[in-house]
Structures are given as structure tokens and as C-alpha cells.
């Protein structure tokens, strides 16, 4: 899934269901039993109600585009999911190797995948976002209790890097909400979690295959020295340039006094080279109520 950068759908989120656990000091056995019983009751109540997240769209003018790339909900556009979500019964399972936090999480996850591919010849990687973390998973199994799943988990846990076994704590995790990482370096899906600048797209309102056109455009841009990619959605095939992380976003104060994320120097530099978004090889004209409003600028999207 490819999602629009938050500048075009600014979101606020707050936790509305939360339980705080504290370390208890040593106490008598009787008092401890009462405390544990009370804590157990709280846990049961928590599991029965779930950990809810509330999302509110403050400003969003990209509803049609959101539908065109296959996103169906605000939470999906926000790239949000949570560990407490109900597991899809039809979802497959993968082996979680590591989870990364921080603004460089996408880059660190990508580096880990490249290292595992090179060092152990592993394939079939997935990335999953949860609570701001980016999880790296390997494999896909319909049932985590099968011999194949168990044997693969044992193999992963035994992998050695020098004298260490860094994945000895690997565990099964639902692939619900996860994105498969492509092996094609031109495919934007090879860089799940990164931001990239959308410079154009192809759709079925043209002669020829939109997928082939987008892939060829990415190859031509690569020949010209640009770090270009293609991305195939259900309706459009996008052409993008550059890879960025949260470090490339800068705080910008609006006239209302609210702070939003804006484009940093690296993004603006590429945006100056590609100022106008192209549709089927032509400049995209923005119209509203039948009147021309101008040309559509290139904008940032997140790969997921």
C-alpha cells in the first residue's frame, strides 16, 4: 500500500483505552495474592474491551486519490495498526526477527533485510507497522503449528552472526496489515516504510499497458541519474523519485499557529527538478467545479 503524506490528511490520535502497570514492592503472601487477583481482573477487562485508538481527520482533500490507490480507511492511510488489534483468522503468519523505532526505522529495517539476503540467502520478507515501530518478518505460513513453520522458526533462531545468535528470540507474528517487500530494486515496494516523491502516474485511460509504461519511465529516469521507482496500485501505476525518512520532514507553523510537517531541503531539491505531476505523460491539470485551478505539484507519499 502507498499512502499520502500527512500534509494532505493531517491526523490527530490519542489513546483512549490504557492500563498502567507498576512494579509492586515486596509484601506479605496474603496481600500479594489479593493484588495479583485484582491485576488479573484488570487484565481480563482490558482484553475484553481492547486497546482503542481514536483518529480524527483535521484536513483531508484527497479522498478520490486515496480510493484510487486502494486505501479504504483513515487508519490505513495513517499507516497505523496496533498490537492489540484482533488477528484476522484468514491472515498468514510470519517470523518476527526485529522491530525498529525512531525516525530512521525504515532505513535500519532495509539494511537488515539486505544483510540477511546477502549473508543467509533469505527471501520473502515482510514489514509491519505497529505503535510507531517497524517490524521485520520472514516467511509466510497459513498455520503456525505446521512442521514447516516450526522448522523454519528453529532455523531462524539458530542463525549465527559471529559468535552471537541475534534472532534466538524470534517469534511468530500475524501478517495481518503487513506489506511484502519486493526483490526488484526498481519496485518501490522494496523500500516499505520510506517516503518517496510521486512525480507521475499512468492509468488505463491510455493506449498500452500502464505497468509497462511506469516501469519504463523509472528505467529512463535511472539512466538520467535519478533514483527512480515504480509502484503498481489497483488503479494507477506510479513513478516516484528519491527515498526519504522522517528526518527529511521539518516542522512548519501554520497561520493558525498549529505545527505540521513540511518538506525538508532534500525533498525540496528534488521537487524543484520535478515541479509538475504527470498523468500518462502529460502535465496534470487540477480542476474544481469545472474551473481550472492550476497544475498539480509533485508530492510526497509513504511506501507501505
pLDDT in tens, the chain (304 residues): 555 543 433 333 333 333 332 333 333 344 444 444 444 444 444 444 333 322 222 233 334 433 443 333 322 322 332 222 333 445 699 999 999 999 889 999 999 999 999 999 999 999 999 888 999 999 999 999 999 999 999 999 999 999 999 999 999 999 998 989 998 989 999 998 899 999 999 999 988 899 999 999 999 999 999 999 999 999 999 999 999 999 999 998 888 889 988 999 999 999 999 999 999 999 999 888 888 889 999 999 998 7
What is the structure's pLDDT at 87? 38
Q: Which of 192, 187, 194 is nearest to 136 (CA)?
A: 192
Q: Which of 201, 257, 260, 261 is nearest to 233 (CA)?
A: 201
Phi, psi of 214 (to 5 degrees): -65, -40
Q: Which of 259, 238, 241 is nearest to 249 (CA)?
A: 259
Task: Please state, in angstroms and rounded to a whole number, the distance separating the CA atoms of residues 301 and 304.
Answer: 9
What is the structure's pLDDT at 126? 94
Convert the pLDDT of each residue in 200-229 to its tens digit: 999 999 888 999 999 999 999 999 999 999
What is the structure's pLDDT at 103? 86
Residues, the chain: 304
Convert the pLDDT of each residue in 103-139 to its tens digit: 889 999 999 999 999 999 999 999 999 888 999 999 9
Percent of the chain beyond pLDDT 70? Answer: 70
Which H, E and C letters describe the chain, residue by residue? CEEECHHHEEEEEEECCCCCCCCCCCCCHHHHHHHHHHHHHHHHHHHHHCCCEEEEEEEECCHHHHHHCCCCCHHHHCCCCCCCCCCCCCCCEEEEEEEECCCCHHHHHHHHHHHHHHHHCCCCEEEEEECCEEEEEEEEECCCCCHHHHHHHHHHHHCCECCECCCCCCEEEECCCCEECCCCCCEHHHHCCCEEEEEEEECCCCCCCHHHHHHHHHHHHHHCCCCEEEEECCCCEEEEEEEECHHHEEEEECCCCCEEEEECHHHHHHHHHCCECEECCEECEEEECCEEEEECECEEEEEC
Distances (CA, A) of 284 to 53, 64, 109, 277: 37, 15, 34, 6
Q: Which of 284, 250, 251, 282 is nearest to 267 (CA)?
A: 250
Amino acid at each position: 500500500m502507498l499512502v499520502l503524506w500527512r500534509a494532505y490528511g493531517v491526523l490527530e490520535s490519542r489513546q483512549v483505552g490504557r492500563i498502567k502497570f507498576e512494579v509492586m514492592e515486596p509484601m506479605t503472601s496474603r496481600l500479594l495474592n489479593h493484588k495479583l487477583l485484582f491485576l488479573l481482573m484488570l487484565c481480563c477487562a482490558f482484553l475484553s474491551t481492547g486497546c482503542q485508538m481514536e483518529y480524527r481527520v483535521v484536513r483531508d482533500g484527497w479522498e478520490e486519490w486515496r480510493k484510487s490507490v486502494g486505501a479504504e480507511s483513515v487508519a490505513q492511510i495513517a499507516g497505523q495498526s496496533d498490537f492489540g488489534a484482533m488477528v484476522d483468522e484468514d491472515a498468514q503468519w510470519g517470523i518476527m526477527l526485529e522491530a525498529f523505532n525512531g525516525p530512521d526505522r525504515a532505513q535500519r529495517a532495509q539494511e537488515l533485510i539486505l544483510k540477511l539476503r546477502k549473508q543467509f540467502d533469505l527471501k520473502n520478507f515482510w514489514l509491519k507497522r505497529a505503535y510507531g515501530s517497524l517490524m521485520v518478518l520472514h516467511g509466510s505460513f497459513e498455520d503456525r503449528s505446521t512442521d514447516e513453520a516450526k522448522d523454519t522458526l528453529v532455523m531462524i533462531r539458530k542463525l549465527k552472526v559471529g559468535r552471537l545468535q541475534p534472532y534466538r528470540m524470534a517469534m511468530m507474528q500475524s501478517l495481518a496489515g503487513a506489506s511484502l517487500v519486493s526483490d526488484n530494486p526498481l519496485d518501490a515496494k522494496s523500500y516499505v516504510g520510506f517516503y518517496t516523491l510521486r512525480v507521475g502516474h499512468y492509468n488505463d485511460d491510455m493506449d498500452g499497458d500502464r505497468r509497462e509504461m511506469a516501469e519504463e519511465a523509472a528505467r529512463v529516469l535511472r539512466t538520467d541519474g535519478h533514483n527512480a521507482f515504480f509502484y503498481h496500485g489497483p488503479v494507477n501505476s506510479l513513478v516516484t523519485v528519491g527515498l526519504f525518512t522522517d528526518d527529511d520532514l521539518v516542522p512548519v507553523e501554520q497561520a493558525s499557529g498549529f505545527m505540521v510537517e513540511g518538506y525538508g531541503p532534500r525533498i525540496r531539491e528534488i521537487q524543484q527538478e520535478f515541479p509538475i505531476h504527470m498523468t500518462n505523460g502529460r502535465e496534470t491539470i487540477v480542476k474544481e467545479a469545472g474551473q481550472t485551478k492550476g497544475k498539480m505539484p509533485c508530492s510526497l507519499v509513504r511506501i507501505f
